Amino acid sequence: MFSSLGDFQVTAFQLASVPISAQPLVEQTGLFAALTNSVFVALIVMSIIYFLVRAGTKSPTIIPGPVQNGVEFVFEFLYNQVEQVVGPKVAPRAFPLLCTIFVYILVANWFGLLPGVGTIGIGHEGTQMGFFGLSEEPKIPLLRPATADMNLTLAIAMCSMVVWFYITMREAGPVEFVKHIFAPKGGLTGVMKLVLIPIFLFVGVIEVVSIIFRPVTLSLRLFGNVFAGENLLHAMTTLGDTFGFGPTLSFISKIGFTLPFYFLEILVGVLQATVFALLCAVYIQLSTAHDEEH
């Protein structure tokens, strides 16, 4: 019983075969070592965003066409959402960052669900398909979901924290920022204020620690969700082979087992983009709201 359970666990572990780190496509060391399969996908995502945006805003007209209308709708919708969270004063400064985060993560997440991502690659071991071809298990996948790479999620998180710090210093200033973190809140006066100052100082230290860890939490949350989703899809795709189904049943199972999780991952993609951008917006709102109250 335990033995079979142990075997199952080993098998399940083998199913989740997506490596945790992105793999270099050209060389292991040197300048081009940075060209990993996730960087390659990030470049493709960047190109897609460029062409979409250019198509929508190349020759903007007062009466918009379908593409311009779509781009304007997304823009206006996101701006209104950002304005609701950070307020009308900070929204013009915060919107470019938050919009970029949302759009980039969303397109990257959804691109990662396209057929071929993770399955087209270089060096197919144990197959008859040659160096470059189609297989379930390529040695080096040519395309890896960009957000399933900690380098990308951490890069976005670090950029967002830099912009957060800039907006906070510009809107609230260093003194207000420090007061916002460490000063007693709730309009306390007299003895009660003096008594609670040490507590608020301690809470402020915790707050500083939480701020320092924000890039880590932001990046790990996004990476974890997308990486887990990618593993899930891989596991579902190879589940038929693992169970020893025949070729036909195995092929059907690749679709049948995977399809429900594709819809789940579509939702996860938009959800994670929303969560990341929303949390950044909330961080900005928390540090600038004090200034707006005055």
Partner 1 sequence: MGKILSDLGIYWTNFIAQVLIFLIVYGILKKFAFGPIQAILEERRKRIEGAEADREKVKAQLADSEAAAEARIAEANETSARLIAEAKVSAAAFGDKERAKASQEAQDIVTKATEATKVERDKQLASLKSEFGKLVISATGKVTGKVLSNDDQDRINKETATQLAN
- Terminal-to-terminal C-alpha distance of the chain: 67
Nearer to partner 1 by Cβ, of 219 and 237: the residue is 219
State how far the Cα of 136 lies from the Cα of 15, in Å rounded to an integer.
11
Residue among 33, 252, 255, 259 that touches partner 1 (CB under 8 A)? 33
Cβ-proximal residues to 227 (8 Å cutoff; 6+ apart), any chain: 18, 20, 145, 148
Is 231 a binding residue for partner 1 by CB under 8 A? The answer is no
Contact code string over 38-67 relative to partner 1, x by CB under 8 A: xx--xx-xx--xx--xx-xx--xxx-x---
SS3 272: helix
For 17-42, the DSSP string reads: ---SS--BSS-SSSGGGG-BHHHHHH
Q: According to CB under 8 A, which residues from 78 to 97 bind partner 1? A: 95-97
State how far the Cα of 191 lies from the Cα of 181, in Å rounded to an integer.
20
Which residues lie across from 141 on neighbouring strands? 121
Q: How far is the CB of 96 from partner 1 (least distance, A)?
A: 6
Residue among 67, 99, 203, 278 that touches partner 1 (CB under 8 A)? 99
Is 72 a binding residue for partner 1 by CB under 8 A? The answer is yes
SS3 186: coil
Nearer to partner 1 by Cβ, of 77 and 132: the residue is 77
Strand (E) or helix (H) holding 79: helix 66-86
287, two tokens: 């540090």
Q: How far is the CB of 270 from partner 1 (least distance, A)?
A: 18
* DSSP 8-class letter at 134: E
Contact code string over 120-159 relative to partner 1, x by CB under 8 A: -----------------------------xxxx-xxx-xx
Is 207 a binding residue for partner 1 by CB under 8 A? The answer is no
Binding residues vs partner 1 (CB under 8 A)? 19-22, 33-36, 38-39, 42-43, 45-46, 49-50, 53-54, 56-57, 60-62, 64, 71-72, 75-76, 95-97, 99-100, 103-104, 149-152, 154-156, 158-159, 223
